[in-house]
Amino acid sequence: MCNPEGGLHAALRRVFETAGYRRYKMSKFEEYDLYSRNRSFLQSEKVLTFTDTDGKLLALKPDVTLSIIKNFRGSQGLEKLYYHENVYRASGVGFREIEQAGLECIGDVDEYSVCEVLSLAAKSLMTVGRDCELDISHLGLLCDLLDGFGDDLKSRVLRFFGGKNTGELRSLLESSGVPDEAALRIIELSDIDCPADEAPKKLQDILGGYVSWERLQLFCDTCRFLGDEFPGMIRVDFSTVGDLSYYSGIIFRGFIDGVPESVLSGGQYDNLAEKLSKHARAIGFALYLDLIDPLLLHKTEYDCDALLLYSEDKEPQEIYHEVKNLQEKGLSVMTAREVPAGLKFREIYSLKEGGAVRVE
């Protein structure tokens, strides 16, 4: 029988491997110190810890990116890695084991590598086979526009960008004494939510002359590329924001119809690489498989296609032979001496003299 989750995981592996990404298998544990120094990069500050036999404080990994970048050696040039791992995070009232697949591209990351990662993010979403959308924005451009703002004001502006809360953004800029023209530009940027191919013109109109020209041109080129390659699927939406101390450039989120939160999250995290003393550029994303897998499970009326009932006096070979016969007809088969309570079967067979006889 087909395993739809397994199908998705294999499809993702194909997406990553055909682009030359190599599997990175890692231990479930990491020294706690790595997380204590980079708490704000984690989705939750709570980490499951334990003391190793040599007295070292270890943690069950709450994140994969930190471990990969920690192990990156500058001499490796461009490292392209993918992973499929479980991470352990505090969620609600306790910790949860969360299944993630994703990739990281670290080192001499050029504009092609950025486009490649974004296209792999889009293709990863498409493997699920449902309506999906990839939203991108650029924190570098936003920071250029907020140049001179204090950290507190910047983080409040970012919060209102993230909530599409134009009303309060306007009030904040007004009460903070931001000149009208600059405030208007910021508000117009926060309003951008359009297909990727329509974004360059809007961005040039709003940002031209106020941000790094090179950065703006490169982002517009990326938008045009994505708009052409994935028509209708990629939008430029400046409500896509992240932590400025880690992310530096393009940032993106993926959504699938039927899942109430983003299932894919990624971006350029040069600032994190710098923080970990790696003089490299870096971009990557993670796909949250635990959010997607439930979509792929078809509701089934029956727990198993067939039940084969047998009595104690039957020989194992005889039972095995009848199970094989039924399986060859394409049925999944459970065997038992009595009908298991609470389970439903499409067909029930009883093993009699001379073979299996259908009784229900």
| Binding residues vs another protein (CB under 8 A) | 131, 133, 135, 163-165, 167-168, 193, 239, 255-257, 259-262
C-alpha distance from residue 233 to each of 40, 134, 223, 296 (Å): 31, 6, 12, 21
- In 236-272, which positions are buried (b, 16+ CB within 10 angstroms) versus exposed (e)? bbbbbbbbbebbbbbbbbbbbeebeebbbbbbbbbbb
For residues 5 and 9, what is the distance between their CA atoms, to the nearest angstrom?
Answer: 6
Helix (H) or strand (E) holding 127: none
Task: Give whichever of 53 and 175 is closer to another protein, judged by the CB atom.
Answer: 175
Task: Give whichever of 4 and 258 is closer to another protein, judged by the CB atom.
Answer: 258
CB of 271 to another protein, least distance (A): 23
CB of 133 to another protein, least distance (A): 5
Residue 317, C-beta contacts closer than 8 angstroms, at least 6 positions apart: none
CB of 305 to another protein, least distance (A): 30
> Considering just the CA atoms, what is the radius of gyration of the chain in Å?
26
Task: Give whichever of 218 and 259 is closer to another protein, judged by the CB atom.
Answer: 259
CB of 111 to another protein, least distance (A): 27
For residues 322 and 351, what is the distance between their CA atoms, to the nearest angstrom?
Answer: 8
CB of 192 to another protein, least distance (A): 14
CB of 94 to another protein, least distance (A): 18
CB of 239 to another protein, least distance (A): 7
User: Locate tokens 């703006």: which residue?
Assistant: 216
For residues 21 and 81, what is the distance between their CA atoms, to the nearest angstrom?
Answer: 5
Task: Give whichever of 38 and 240 is closer to another protein, judged by the CB atom.
Answer: 240
Task: Give whichever of 42 and 48 is closer to another protein, judged by the CB atom.
Answer: 42
Are 256 and 295 in contact by the 8 Å Cβ rule? The answer is: yes
Task: Give whichever of 194 and 334 is closer to another protein, judged by the CB atom.
Answer: 194
In the chain, the N- to C-terminal Cα span, in Å, equals: 22
Task: Give whichever of 92 and 209 is closer to another protein, judged by the CB atom.
Answer: 92
Given the DSSP bridges, would you call strands 57-60 and 29-31 parallel, antiparallel or unpaired? antiparallel
Task: Give whichever of 207 and 241 is closer to another protein, judged by the CB atom.
Answer: 241
Structure tokens at 293: 């897998």
CB of 132 to another protein, least distance (A): 9
- DSSP assignment letter at 179: -
CB of 206 to another protein, least distance (A): 20
Given the DSSP bridges, would you call strands 234-237 and 132-138 parallel, antiparallel or unpaired? parallel
Task: Give whichever of 239 and 245 is closer to another protein, judged by the CB atom.
Answer: 239
CB of 235 to another protein, least distance (A): 8
Are 309 and 348 in contact by the 8 Å Cβ rule? The answer is: yes
User: Locate tokens 């309060």: which residue?
Assistant: 168
**Backbone φ and ψ of 34, nearest 5°:** -60, -40
Residue type present at position 298: H
C-alpha distance from residue 344 to each of 309, 338, 339 (Å): 14, 13, 9
Task: Give whichever of 243 and 274 is closer to another protein, judged by the CB atom.
Answer: 243
